[in-house]
Amino acid sequence: MYKNPIRSSPEQTHVTHVADRYIQILSNVALADPKDNIECYLAEAFELGRSAVDKSIPPDDLTHIHHIATMALANCHPQLSLIQVAERLTRPLMEMTMAYGMAFRQQMEHRYEGMINARLEESRKLEAVGTLAAGIAHDFNNLLGSIVGFAEMAGDSLTDDAQGKYNIQQILNASFRARDLVARMLAFARQVPVKLIPVDTVSEVREAIALLRASLRPSVQIAFSTTMESAEVLADASQIQQIVMNLCINAADAMNDSGTILIRLEPVREPDGIQARGAPTVHRICLIVSDSGSGISPEALERVFDPFFTTKAPGKGSGLGLSVVYGIVTGLGGLIQAESRTHGERCGTEFRVVLPLLASDKSESKDQYGEHLSH
């Protein structure tokens, strides 16, 4: 008996199954009596073509299957002459390939329609975010005005060395940051470009951490390390702080408000072979925020930057934090990646944000470089 060579590849189980069925169809058609009705075999060949698409069999394999089936038929029935079976064998091939083409086209149309619908849905969500931002900005500004006004009056009533003077100043600093956030929300809603200026990420990260330490629970520790004195990027100061604060708040939630958030700021060095001769060694900065929480499942990790997507309980999160971070990072010409482990000794999640440096010669560390993060 003829041995199907496709069987030698265990990874092509579906191809083998289709080939075996097609060999049987050709045998039935070729050996049928001239008076027999072979429409049932042709219908089976048609369904086989549709099945091949469902099993993701490529067109080249379909041609190979027909060749294998024809050779198998010739080896098993050498008494058959070409003139006896040529016309008959053409009909199953036409049925199978026609069905394959129709099903393949439908599959591509469904995939394209799904992509379009997904983009439309994302566009609707972003539009909803813009409407929400524009709607609350006015009332939020009024609330901030009251907070700032009463805080300034309270500060004026205290002497410079009073114990509450520092706390009042922190309230004012946070209020001013909130005011900047409202301005960003309005800019997002109205699609107004943010004015970018040189910003030192080292100082902005330190300032964001100072605000976080005052707002997070005492059981959450923040450890910050860097080998860089300064690292300027073209951005808005509130954008850098918003990235740090959103990532750290998510990390604290992942650890159930107990643990240590590790923040590292490192220069990125291009791998050998990419950097041009005479070019600056460092021209990107990598912000790394990691936690020791329970981790994110692979399914959720794929959608972690989607607007309104959240794994938190109702009322615990809006699903906008990471999508806002993603928008800021990509808007600044950077990239963000997330890695997570849900089991083992090193459970947790790590976010890596890479931003282009404005002046790499001022940012280069003397004795340590960050590792490369590929696109």
pLDDT, residue 350, reads 92
pLDDT, residue 355, reads 94
Sheet order of strands, 220-226 included: 220-226, 259-269, 282-290, 348-356, 335-341
Q: Which residue ranges does the chain devote to CATH 3.30.565.10?
A: 197-363
8 Å CB contact between 266 and 286 = yes
The span from the CA of 15 to the CA of 102, in Å, is 19
pLDDT, residue 300, reads 83
Q: Which residue ranges does the chain devote to CATH 1.10.287.130?
A: 122-190
Residues of 282-316 as b/e, b for ≥16 C-beta within 10 angstroms?
Answer: bbbbbbbbbbbbbbbeeeeeeebbbbebbeeeeee
DSSP alpha helices (H): ranges in the chain?
Answer: 13-31, 39-54, 59-76, 82-156, 165-190, 201-215, 237-254, 298-301, 321-331, 360-363
DSSP-derived 3-state class of residue 364: coil
The span from the CA of 290 to the CA of 264, in Å, is 9
Which residue, among 297, 353, 299, 300, has the nearest Cα to 324 in the 3D structure?
Answer: 353
| Average pLDDT per 10 consecutive residues for the chain, totaling 375 residues | 45 73 79 74 82 79 78 76 68 80 82 80 69 69 86 87 85 82 62 77 91 83 91 88 89 85 87 49 84 84 75 57 83 90 82 84 40 37
The span from the CA of 130 to the CA of 330, in Å, is 18
Which CATH number is associated with domain 122-190?
1.10.287.130
Which residue, among 365, 162, 158, 134, has the nearest Cα to 266 in the 3D structure?
Answer: 365
| Whole-number Cα distances in Å, 116 to 103, 105, 168, 201, 343 | 20, 16, 51, 38, 36
Angle formed by the axes of helices 39-54 and 13-31, to 10°? Answer: 170
- pLDDT, tens digit, for every residue of 150-201? 988 888 888 888 888 888 888 888 888 777 767 666 655 555 566 789 999 9
pLDDT, residue 1, reads 40
Count CA atoms within 13 Å of residue 308 on its CB side. 11
Which residue, among 336, 238, 221, has the nearest Cα to 287 in the 3D structure?
Answer: 336
Angle at 48 between CA 42 and CA 50, to 5 degrees: 115
| DSSP-derived secondary structure letter, 10 | G
pLDDT, residue 11, reads 46
- pLDDT, tens digit, for every residue of 197-250? 999 999 999 988 988 887 788 888 899 999 888 899 999 888 898 899 889 988
- Compute how many other C-beta atoms are within 10 angstroms of the C-beta atom of residue 9: 10
Amino acid, single-letter form, for residue 72: A
| DSSP-derived secondary structure letter, 366 | S
- Bridge partners of 354, per DSSP, are 286, 335
Q: Which fold has domain 197-363?
A: Heat Shock Protein 90 (3.30.565)
pLDDT, residue 68, reads 79
